[in-house]
Amino acid sequence: MPLVTEPTIYNADEANVIDQFLKTGYIIFPVEDLNSLAKIRSNLYENAVKALELDSPPPESDFFDNAQKFILPEYLNEIRLGLIDKLNKNPDNAALFYSLAKNHLGWIVGNEMAIQRSYNLGIQLPKDSSSILPLHSDVWSGNSPYEVVLWTSFVDCHKTKSMYLLPLKENQKIISNFQKYSSMTAEEIFSEVEDKVVWLEVPYGHVVIFWHGLLHGNRINEEEKSRWTVNLRFKGLLTPYHAKELGEYFMPLTIRPITRIGYQYKKPKI
């Protein structure tokens, strides 16, 4: 039974996406602009090849999956931070990432949005224990619940090469029964929910939008290839902010004309 009951308000695509998001708290879909994804990926490739000072770099199509052959684990973080700096300094990136999911973000978040100012690049080399992200919810540590993450992958992701999350219904059970979990470590909570989490299957060319109030994380990448992903948050511009503020952590992405006219309006004086 679909949760969206007003078919006259939403078109079919929109209603499907809304329905799925309300049920699970996430959605995986093909990017809306494949050229933008290719552009982001080739910028990333060029910067990575430069940073690694590779004499005979592999072609872009082989590089990301096989990054473990070119990056020593002890330099991984330095390389990663250098690449994040490059992502942050490229003024085209906001528009490029937005174009990957413009409609979906509009349907799930709204058409006046704020975008996170910095891009979080994750590189998970096979068997590398330094990049584990223990189970957590971003809302427990300063993000407001009015935000989603756009999770963009530059390789095919599956099983432990990917990330896991706990779908909305199961997640609500944990939250409403939080007392039971409050003295557990992240690892202990993970073992409690391990059989209910979903490992996201995300082929290259697809992205994920998920609510970061869902419990999520990743484990050691037990697959043979490396994962490269960027996560980036979006929220309704005028929705409540928590410790991640507008101006400091978020920037306005879209402000519609009537909001501008509205906020500049001055009550006539008699």
Partner 1 sequence: MNKNWRGYIFSREIGKQVVPQRVQNLVIRTCAERHGLTYLLSATEYYMDDCYMMLKSVLDELGQIEGIIFYSTHQLPSDTNERMKIYDKVLNSKKGLRFALEDLALFDEKDVKLIEDLKFCNELSAQAIDLDSYQESLN
**Residue 224 or residue 248: which is nearer to partner 1 going by CB?**
248
Examine residue 240 and tell whether it contacts partner 1 (CB under 8 A).
Answer: yes
**Residue 15 or residue 25: which is nearer to Fe ion going by CB?**
25
Q: Closest approach of Cβ 79 to Fe ion, in Å?
A: 21
Q: Kindly give, in sequence order, each residue whose CB lies less than 8 Å from that of residue 59, ignoring residues fewer than 6 positions away.
A: none
Q: Kindly give, in sequence order, each residue whose CB lies less than 8 Å from that of residue 33, ignoring residues fewer than 6 positions away.
A: 99, 100, 102
Binding mask 143-172 for partner 1 (x = CB under 8 A): -xx---------------------------
Q: Which residues pair with 190 in a beta bridge?
A: none
Binding mask 115-154 for Fe ion (x = CB under 5 A): -----------------------x----------------
If you count them, how many residues does the chain have? 270
Residue whose structure tokens are 């509009």: 106
Angle at Cα 170 formed by Cα 168 and Cα 172, nearest 5°? 65
Q: Closest approach of Cβ 49 to Fe ion, in Å?
A: 29
**Rounded to 10 degrees, what is the CA torsion of 249, 255, 261, 265?**
-20
**Residue 138 or residue 156: which is nearer to Fe ion going by CB?**
138
Q: Which of 98, 119, 234, 241 binds partner 1 (CB under 8 A)?
A: 241
State the residues that interact with Fe ion by CB under 5 A: 138
